Structure 1
Amino acid sequence: MPQTFMHSRFSHSFLHLQREKGFITSLHRQRRHAKILMGDGEFLPSWVVCCEKKLDFTKNNISSSRDKSRTQRSTRVQTFGATSDGEVVLQPKDDHGTTWQSTFCRKWDAFVTFSRPYTIICTSIGVCSVSLLPLTSVGDFSPAYFVGLIQALIAFICGNIYTSGINQLVDSDMDKINKPYLPLVSGELSVGEVRAIVTALTFMCLAIGIMFQSAPLFIGLLSFFLIGTAYSVELPFLRWKTKPAMAIFSMAGMSGLTYQPGVFYHIQNALGKPMVLSRSAAFTTIFFSIFGAVLGLIKDIPDVEGDKACGNQTFCVRYGKEKVFSLSLNILLIAYGSAVALGASSSLLICKIVSVIGHTTLASLLMLRANSINLEDPVSTQSFYMFLFKLLYAEYALIQFMR
């Protein structure tokens, strides 16, 4: 009996057929053969790739369970049946029902995943937070401020998507092992489409920096663009991600040394204020540079197998996960301790209380989460990596009290 099956582009497991329960997919990567039923009755061997879903032979509805790590929109419909000997049969699908709206939605969904939304969220929160640091009164919330903020958001979001895109384009071989759910590896976006996106964003980044006629914004964006390019591209003296020290510098540069001072001075310039480095801006630049360097170390822990296979000698490959994790944790704790000390020296009581209690709380949460991590489990280490971004978001609120 033919059944309808919803296919998700992030799935990597294979169909199993059970007569009593219908089609059930496994969460394990096992190779299971299926056959495509052609119009003339012939069968062609094929692979059936699907996410965790169950199809009931007795009902026409579909029940699906969410994957624990990712939930994605189902975008393709395919018909399956079964032969008398229990083999899975993939029946031809009529593509005439595909509309431009469904194609657009599928491509947009792939582009969103390609853009790495959590990094865009982090960049957006960072730009908005840093843009508040130059303000000294309610009167500074002027049209000039909001125009400057929008300019900075557009510029660095485009730069962020570019750096994610160029990295995926160059690292497709490693991503087949480390991140097989990415659109380029899974086939949702072709190499030509990704190249077109990256090329368009290259011109957009440079054009935006020139068009807005803000020297601080242009310098910050250009630095972000150049570091992101040097991190990924295969050119002499570049490909910094394969050079551990330069990889850490790249993450520190893109997290703190580029858009933090760039946005701060850009807003000062937009408001017509003299460009002076404040206490809060100096702390923000240094703290987020350190945090970015730690993110650069932690992000390689779940990718060790892929890095080894591709000859990428990261610190984790060279010295082991345990040593790198311990070093990263100690660096962050020192950074939080410094933030507590700096906050305690503030002349404003509210700033002193919030900064001391806030940073102490974040350091405590970091220790609690670090004690529960399993370094041999990629899911656990990836979860810890994403937890660090939550700490980063919280820090963007606390920097308003580092005055």
Structure 2
Amino acid sequence: MDSAKRTRVFIRRINWKRTIEVGYAKPSMESLWNDMELHIVHSNPNGGTAVVGTPYGSDSPHPFLSTLMDKIVSLGSGQVDLGNFDPNSVGFGGTEPYCRYARAVSPEQIQVLKDAVADVIKDLRALDEEVDDESPFTYVEGSGKGPKEWGQLNPHWKVCNNGKLQSPIDLLDARVEVFPNLGKLKRDYKPAPAVVMNRGHDITVKWKGYPGKVIINGTDYNLLQCHWHSPSEHTFNGSRYDLELHVIHLNSKGEVAVTGIVYKYGQPDPFLTKLLEHIKRVDHNEQIELGIVNPGIIKFGSRKYYRYIGSLTVPPCTEGVIWTIVKKVRTVSREQVRALREAVHDGFEANARPTQESAGRSVLFYTPKV
């Protein structure tokens, strides 16, 4: 018996793909591509993943999807509570140990699923570029590939030069609008498997399981990864600090929300303390398994924050990012900053984009009501 049969896994989610991702062989061995594929995703306590896939052909409505049609149509970019849900109602259509044939689904059901995710793909691709891109750009001015030239290096990066909502910016207290109704930043983080990655232009911790979320304006943004920039990218009243942490989240519509925390030299940061030896060992384009990492260790230190709409701070500089910058300047040791700088290759020992024009953007400031 192989390890897959011996491992107990727990169902995590169910999702549909518009076209089948794996070819389905007829008895004649002719490859046949069907109209849709259902993925039932499971995980075990060690972060392993197991997926059961069922292909569908366009024909009569599928009973399970029929019970969800109204909710899918009204879903939008949020979520709908289904109440108690029995995953056995999905139905595999047989008792084989794996799927050998296509199930039926109506053309109308396929179209509803297409419409529900039509606006997500573009934003996800842009985020993927930011998350894993190793393209030839640098932070060195005058190199021909520095921040002022990013928009000329790739046709997909034009917004880096001509965008009107670029980040980072200088956060001037004299220009912000105090807005108590923004409410406390709600975090619901959970321990999950993670890796530390050297992406060349930064050091990143990426979670593999479900590490929780933040909630902004009633919308869930799931935690994906975090990375560091040195010196800080955002400035406070013209002052630049020694380090900045970006915590990246994504909602179901593909929209990005980033929490930024700025640091000055002082006592070591607890989160970096747990990661320091791994950071020192990870080589360029490599990653090291960290086991279970609790993102709740990341300390904000204050309930006060700035909020504005900006962009990713590396190519492709995609705009529409919700930025939350914690007001309190926390501390980090010189050794920790040195380790982050030395881990990446020489061209990125300083990996902070210069501040961009605010272009009249509204910057809100949340402070708890007295």
Q: What TM-score range do you get, normalising by the shorter chain?
A: under 0.3
The TM-score normalised by the length of structure 2 is: 0.27
The TM-score normalised by the length of structure 1 is: 0.26
Greater relative CO, 1 or 2 (CA 8 Å, sep 6+): 2
Name the structure with the higher strand share: 2
